[in-house]
Chain A
Amino acid sequence: GDSVTQMEGPVTLSEEAFLTINCTYTATGYPSLFWYVQYPGEGLQLLLKATKADDKGSNKGFEATYRKETTSFHLEKGSVQVSDSAVYFCALGRAQKLVFGQGTRLTINP
């Protein structure tokens, strides 16, 4: 069945550092791919998405490219801020169902 594997955390970086959180998936066909972010005390929020191979999703300085050849959807940001501290979830979606990775806790220190 469908599955998502993402980089284990926690990840701790200094402000303005470059961020990569790896995400790979196993699925048949062409699912949509998502990154969700969960800030403390809040629900998951959609950060970005891509619906087909080679699509790049972007939002708030974050980017991820749907790579079918490597079955990956790595999250990147060129310069992180303290406010980016949160838990990040990679997910794939098919027929309105979402399958999530285990989440990566990111802490950004000033």
Chain B
Amino acid sequence: GAVVSQHPSWVICKSGTSVKIECRSLDFQATTMFWYRQFPKQSLMLMATSNEGSKATYEQGVEKDKFLINHASLTLSTLTVTSAHPEDSSFYICSAKDRNGRNEQFFGPGTRLTVL
């Protein structure tokens, strides 16, 4: 149990376009999901915390108009990178917390974004 999927696993887009990444909890309900960004050979940096049915909470320095987060249901959160630029190229990872007591984050496999 406790499987989190991300789609797509990798995406290449042109500069100026928007890209949506989905994060799904497959076998549990998640009231809270987290979005991280990972640069090569660096740690995961928390971008935002997403609570179902409410606005996401962004970490300092993360542009909320650039990285739109929607947590529309207990099993789905989406991250949209708007007007993407090459510096947005990165590995984006989501995690989800089980609403039913397990005090643990379960991680998706990540999405590699390359902006040309």
Taking Cβ atoms with an 8 Å cutoff, the residues of A that contact B are: 4, 36, 41-46, 89, 96-103
Contacts and interface: CB of A to CB of B under 8 A. Distances in A.
Bin chain B's interface residue count: 20 to 34
Interface of B: 4, 32, 34, 41-46, 49, 93, 95, 97, 104-110
Contacts of A4: 43
Contacts of B45: 100
B32 A102 contact: no
Q: Name the 4 nearest CB pairs between A and B, nearest first.
A: A43-B107, A44-B107, A100-B43, A102-B43
Nearest to B46: A97
B66 to A, nearest CB: 21
Contacts of B104: 46
A96 B97 contact: yes
B105 to A, nearest CB: 7
Contacts of B110: 43
A47 to B, nearest CB: 12
A74 B54 CA distance: 38
Contacts of A102: 41-43
Contacts of A97: 34, 46, 49
A34 B85 CA distance: 34
Given A43-B4, A43-B107, A44-B107, A98 B32 contact: no
Interface centre among B42, B43, B95, B97 (most CB of A within 10 A): B43
Given A36-B107, A89-B43, A103-B42, 10 more contacts: A42-B109, A43-B93, A43-B95, A43-B110, A44-B44, A44-B95, A44-B107, A97-B34, A102-B43, A103-B43
Nearest to A105: B41
